[in-house]
Copies of this chain bind each other. A is one copy, B any other.
Amino acid sequence: MDTLISSVKIAINPQLYLKDPESSELGINIVHNGIDLIKEIGFEEFTFRKLGLQIHSPEASIYRYFESKHKFLLYLNAWYWGWMEYQLLLAISNVSSADKRLEKSVFLMTEGVQNDPNFQGIDIVKMQEIVVAEASKSFLNKQVDQANQDGAYLSYKQFVAKVANIIKEINPQYKYPIMLVTTVIEGAHQQRFFAEHLPRLTNKQNKPHYLSKFYMDLVFKTIKPV
Interface residues of A (CB under 8 A from B): 41-45, 133-134, 136-137, 139-142, 144-145, 148, 153, 156-157, 160-161, 175-180, 182-183, 186-187, 190-191, 193-194, 197-198, 200-203, 205, 214, 217-218, 221-222, 224
Q: How far is the CA of A205 from the CA of B175 in the complex (A)?
A: 10
* B137 and A198 form a contact (CB under 8 A): no
Q: Which residues in B have their C-beta under 8 angstroms from that of A160? A: 200-201
Q: Which residues on B sit within 8 Å (CB–CB) of A222?
A: 217-218, 221-222
Instruction: Give the number of copies in the complex.
Output: 2
A180 to B218, CA, bound (A): 9
Q: Kindly list 5 other residue pairs between chains A and B, CB separation below 8 angstroms, not including A41-B142, A182-B201.
A: A136-B190, A161-B200, A176-B203, A182-B187, A218-B222
Q: Is the CB of B201 within 8 A of A177?
A: no
Instruction: List residues of chain B with CB within 8 A of the CB of A183.
Output: 183, 187, 190-191, 218
Q: For A187, what are the chain B residues with a Cβ–Cβ distance below 8 Å?
A: 182-183, 186-187
Could you show 12 A-B contacts with beta carbons less than 8 Å apart?
Answer: A44-B141, A139-B197, A176-B214, A178-B201, A179-B202, A179-B203, A179-B214, A180-B218, A182-B187, A183-B190, A187-B187, A221-B221
Query: Once bound together, how far apart are the Cα atoms of A203 and B181, in whole Å?
Result: 11
B-side contacts of A142, CB under 8 Å = 41-42, 44-45
Inter-chain contacts of A202 with B (CB < 8 A)? 178-179, 182
Q: Given A177-B203, A222-B217, A222-B222: A144 and B182 within 8 A (CB)? A: no
In the complex, what residues of B have CB within 8 A of residue A41's CB? 142
Within the complex, which residue of B134, B141, B176, B203 is in contact with A178, where a contact is CB–CB below 8 Å?
A: B203
- Give the residue of B200, B214, B218 whose beta carbon is less than 8 angstroms from that of A157: B200
| B194–A182 CB distance below 8 A | yes
**Which chain B residue has the least Cβ–Cβ distance from A45?**
B142
Q: Bound state CA distance, A177 and B140, in angstroms?
A: 27
Report chain B residues within 8 Å CB of A205: 175
A214's nearest neighbour on chain B, judged by CB, is B176
A42 to B186, CA, bound (A): 21
Shortest CB distance A82–B (Å): 16
Question: Is the Cβ of B42 less than 8 Å from the Cβ of A141?
Answer: yes
